[in-house]
């Protein structure tokens, strides 16, 4: 199948030697069967390589390794960060479930005869909240778990209700009460597990208070 090999962009030269050095810096699809190639040539290409080399040497200096060792050092740091994030997540979970030695973290209230485990978790990733709620539900046995996490000023909420209570207590209703306190609009999920969010991290504690009030109503 015939296809175009023209790479000029409307600028023509007498011979390829007039172009000199050429460096392709980007390539992307612009339409079906059409791709866009971006390149620099001549003095612009030389300047591009010099900028890249300068950036590499700056990175090597910051990492205190030779330039050729930068990729390996960066990969090592990324893996180290992942391990630290996993360890931090484990510590946060232990603290939230009462396994970290903190009495406040293990707090379980009695609200109209129902066990209520509220947790305010600064920096806990939203994706970890449901799993953590399940763990706390198991430790509580019968009751309601409310988790409020704050990340970059935004709030994530998860409410869990043990199976023996779902006929009378709906997690969706409770999480919506908490969401309203932090500027959120509703929430959703199942009677035993629901989630919501809101933009006002400064009212995170108010969200827990609202959930507790709704539970006691």
pLDDT tens for 71-98 read 999 999 999 999 998 888 777 777 666 6
Cα 16 to Cα 42: distance, rounded to the nearest angstrom: 11
In whole angstroms, what is the distance from residue 65 CA to residue 12 CA?
Answer: 44
The dihedral through the CA atoms of 66, 68, 72, 77 has a sign that is positive
How many CA atoms lie less than 13 Å away from 145 in the CB half-sphere? 29
Say if residue 3's pLDDT is above 50.
Answer: yes
Does domain 96-216 fall into CATH 3.10.310.40? yes
Sign of CA dihedral 57, 61, 66, 70: negative
Give yes or no for residue 148 having a pLDDT over 80: yes
**Domain map (residue ranges) of the chain:** 1-63, 96-216
Rounded mean pLDDT, 18-27? 89
* pLDDT tens-digit series, residues 105-132: 468 899 989 999 999 988 888 888 999 8
**Prediction pTM value:** 0.62
Q: What contacts 176, CB < 8 A, 6 or more positions away?
A: 186, 187, 194, 196
Is 36 a residue whose pLDDT tops 90?
A: no
Taking the C-alpha atoms of residue 184 and residue 100, their distance in angstroms, rounded to an integer, is 31
């Amino acid at each position: 199948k015939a296809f175009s090999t023209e790479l000029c962009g409307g600028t023509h030269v007498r011979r390829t030697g007039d172009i000199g050095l050429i460096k392709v810096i980007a390539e992307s699809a612009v339409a079906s069967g059409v791709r866009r190639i971006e390149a620099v040539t001549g003095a612009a290409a030389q300047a591009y390589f010099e900028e890249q080399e300068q950036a590499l040497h700056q990175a090597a200096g910051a990492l205190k390794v030779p330039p050729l060792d930068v990729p390996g050092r960066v990969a090592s740091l990324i893996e180290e960060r992942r391990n630290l994030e996993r360890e931090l997540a484990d510590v946060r979970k232990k603290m939230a479930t009462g396994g970290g030695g903190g009495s406040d973290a293990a707090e379980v209230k009695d609200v109209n005869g129902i066990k209520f485990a509220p947790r305010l978790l600064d920096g806990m990733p939203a994706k970890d909240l449901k799993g953590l709620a399940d763990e706390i539900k198991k430790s509580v046995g019968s009751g309601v778990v409310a988790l409020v996490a704050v990340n970059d000023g935004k709030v994530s909420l998860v409410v869990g209700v043990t199976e023996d209570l779902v006929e009378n207590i709906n997690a969706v209703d409770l999480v919506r009460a908490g969401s309203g306190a932090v500027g959120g609009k509703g929430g959703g999920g199942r009677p035993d597990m629901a989630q919501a969010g809101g933009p006002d991290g400064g009212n995170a504690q108010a969200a827990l208070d609202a959930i507790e009030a709704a539970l006691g109503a």
